[in-house]
Structure 1
Amino acid sequence: MPRVIRLIAIIIVGEYLARHFLLYLFPVIGTLRVNDMLATGLFYIALVWFTAPQSSRSMVRVNEALRGVLRHVRSTQSWLGAAAASAAMLMVVIDGLLWGNMRLPFLVSPWRYDLVLLPGFGRILEGISLLAVNGLVVPLSEERLWRGLIQPQIVNMTGVSRGILATSLLFSVKHTIVDASLARFLALTAFGFVMGVLAHRRGWHASAISHMLANLVATGLSLVYG
C-alpha cells in the first residue's frame, strides 16, 4: 500500500476514534464538546509529530515551522485564500438541496462517564476549546498533513490539476466519514481545492494561515450566533 494511502487511512481512522470513542474515556470537562475538541487536538498534535522526520521532532524545529506559518499572516494571498475558502463554503446550500439532512451510519462508544467537571464553566471552556482547536490546531495540522504531505505525493502521481482535485475530494470524504454526514461534501471539496491551489503556489504555510483565518471566523460566528 502506498505511503500516502496509509497516511489518509490513519487520519480518517484516528480522527474517527478520537471523536467517537476517545472523548468518552475521561470525565466531561464542562461540556462534551470540550472533550471532543481535546481528543481531536491531542490526536492531530500526535499525528503531526510522528509524521515529521526524526530530525524535526524538537521544539526548536516546531518553533521554526510555526514562524514559517506566521510569516504569511501579512500575505495578501493568504487573506484572499481565506476569503475564497469561506465563500466556497456557501456551497452547503447545494449540498442541502442534493442530500438534505441525510445521515450516514456511524459507531460510537457505549461507555459514558457520569462525572462532569467544572459544569458552571461549560460555555466558557467550550468557546476556548473551539477557538483553540477548531480555529488553530486542526487547520494547522490538516494543512501540514493534507497539503504538506499528501497533496505533493498525489500530484507527483497524477499531475497538478488532478492531484489537487483528488486531494480535495479525499479531504472532503474524510470529513464526511467522521461527521457521518454529506451536509458539507461539495462545500468542503471546494474549500479543499482553494487550499490546494494556494498551497501548490505558495506552500502549505500559506494555506495554513488561510485555513486558520477561515476557521476562526466561522467558529467565532457560531459562538456568537449559534
Structure 2
Amino acid sequence: MQQDQSLEAKSESEPFIAMTASIPKLSRSRNLSAALAVVGLVIGGEYFFRHYVLFWLPIFGSLAVNDMLSLFLGYLLLCVSIGLFMHVNWQQELASIGQSLREGLTSWNFTFWVLALVLSVWALSMLDRLLWGNIELPIFLSSYRNSTVWLAKLAPALKVGSLILVNGLFVPIAEEYLWRGIVQVRLMHILPAPFAIGLTAILFSLKHAFVDASLGRFLALIAFGAICGVVAQRSSWRRSAALHMVVNTIATIVGLIFGPT
C-alpha cells in the first residue's frame, strides 16, 4: 500500500519535474523576483511596441498590419532575451511545439480542453461586458507618426495574413512560453500549484487590460489563463501553447469573417 502511494505521488509530480527541468534552480526570493521581472518586461515590452514602435514604423498597408508586426517584433525580442537569461535549452523547447500540436489535435482530452476554454471565455465575456465593458483605462501613445505608406494596395491581404500568422499562431506560443513556461513555473517554486496557476492567470489578464486599456475581457482572460495553466501543469507549456493556438486561430478567423463580437 505504501509503495502504491509513493508511485502515485511520483506520477503526479512528474509533469512539474518535467516543466522545471530546464529552469535554473533559485531561492524562493529569487524565484519571486524572477517571476515579477518577467511580468514587468512582458507588460512593458508589449505596451512599448504596440503603442510606440507601431507608429514609428512605415505603414505596411494599414495600421492593423503594423500592430501585428510590432507585436511579433516585441514578443520575438522578449522570448529570445528572457530565454537566454532565464531558461536552459529554450531553443529545443520552442522547437517541439509542432509535435505537441500534432499530439494534441489527435487527443480527445485536448478536444475537451478546447471546448472548456471556448465555452468559459464566451460565457465570461458577456459578464465582463455587463460589469465593466464601458470602462476605459488610460492609454499613452507615441506622438510621432511615420506617414510613409508601403504596399497600400495589399492592405486587405496583409491584414488577414498578419492576423492569422501573428495573433493566431505566433503570439500563443510566445505568451505560453513566457507566462506558463517561466512565470508560472517560478511561482510554483514558492506557492502551491493552484495559487501559482491562479496568480499567473490574473497577471496574464491584467497585462491585456493594461495594453488594451480595457477591462472588457478581464474575467474571461483569467479563465483562459487558468485553463492554460492547468494544462501546462498537467502536461507542459507546449501543450497549453497548442491549445492557445487552436483557440486564437479559430477566434481570429471567425473575427475576420463575421467581425468583432
With structure 2 as the length reference, what TM-score do the two structures score? Answer: 0.81
CA distance in structure 2 between the partners assigned to 1:147 and 1:6 by the alignment = 15
Q: Report the counterpart of residue 211 of structure 1 in structure 2.
A: 244
In the TM superposition, what is the alpha-carbon distance from 1:205 to its structure 2 partner?
Answer: 1.1
Amino-acid identity (%): 37
Q: Report the counterpart of residue 34 of structure 2 in structure 1.
A: 3
Q: Report the counterpart of residue 76 of structure 1 in structure 2.
A: 108
- Shift in alpha-carbon separation, 1:39–1:210, aligned structure 2, 3 A: same
Q: Report the counterpart of residue 38 of structure 1 in structure 2.
A: 69
Q: How does 1:167-178 map to 2 (within 5 A)?
A: 167-178=200-211
In the TM superposition, what is the alpha-carbon distance from 1:123 to its structure 2 partner?
Answer: 1.1
In the TM superposition, what is the alpha-carbon distance from 1:118 to its structure 2 partner?
Answer: 1.3
Listed one character per residue, the Cα deviations across residues 123-167 of structure 1 (whole Å, up to 9, x for unaligned) are 110010000000011001111111111111112211011111111
Tell me whether 1:85 sits opposite 2:117 in the alignment: yes
Q: How does 1:8-157 map to 2 (within 5 A)?
A: 8-53=39-84, 56=89, 61=92, 64-70=95-101, 71-90=103-122, 91-157=124-190
Q: Which amino acid aligns with 2:207?
A: K
Q: How does 1:159-198 map to 2 (within 5 A)?
A: 159-198=192-231
In the TM superposition, what is the alpha-carbon distance from 1:67 to its structure 2 partner?
Answer: 3.8
In the TM superposition, what is the alpha-carbon distance from 1:87 to its structure 2 partner?
Answer: 1.3
CA distance in structure 1 between the partners assigned to 2:131 and 2:37 by the alignment = 31
Query: Which protein shows a greater Rg?
Result: 2
Contact 1:81–1:207 (CA under 8 A) maintained in structure 2: no
Q: How many residues align?
A: 224
Contact 1:25–1:112 (CA under 8 A) maintained in structure 2: yes
CA distance in structure 1 between the partners assigned to 2:183 and 2:206 by the alignment = 14
RMSD of aligned residue pairs (Cα, Å)? 1.7
In the TM superposition, what is the alpha-carbon distance from 1:64 to its structure 2 partner?
Answer: 3.4
Q: Secondary structure at the match of 1:106?
A: coil
- Unmatched runs of 5 consecutive residues or more in structure 2: 1-29
CA distance in structure 2 between the partners assigned to 1:139 and 1:63 by the alignment = 12
- Unmatched runs of 5 consecutive residues or more in structure 1: none
Farther-moved stretch of structure 1 (134-143 vs 75-84):
75-84
- Shift in alpha-carbon separation, 1:6–1:102, aligned structure 2, 3 A: same
Listed one character per residue, the Cα deviations across residues 71-116 of structure 1 (whole Å, up to 9, x for unaligned) are 4332333332222111121211111111132110010001111121
CA distance in structure 2 between the partners assigned to 1:51 and 1:165 by the alignment = 22
With structure 1 as the length reference, what TM-score do the two structures score? Answer: 0.93
CA distance in structure 1 between the partners assigned to 2:90 and 2:226 by the alignment = 29
Contact 2:205–2:218 (CA under 8 A) maintained in structure 1: yes
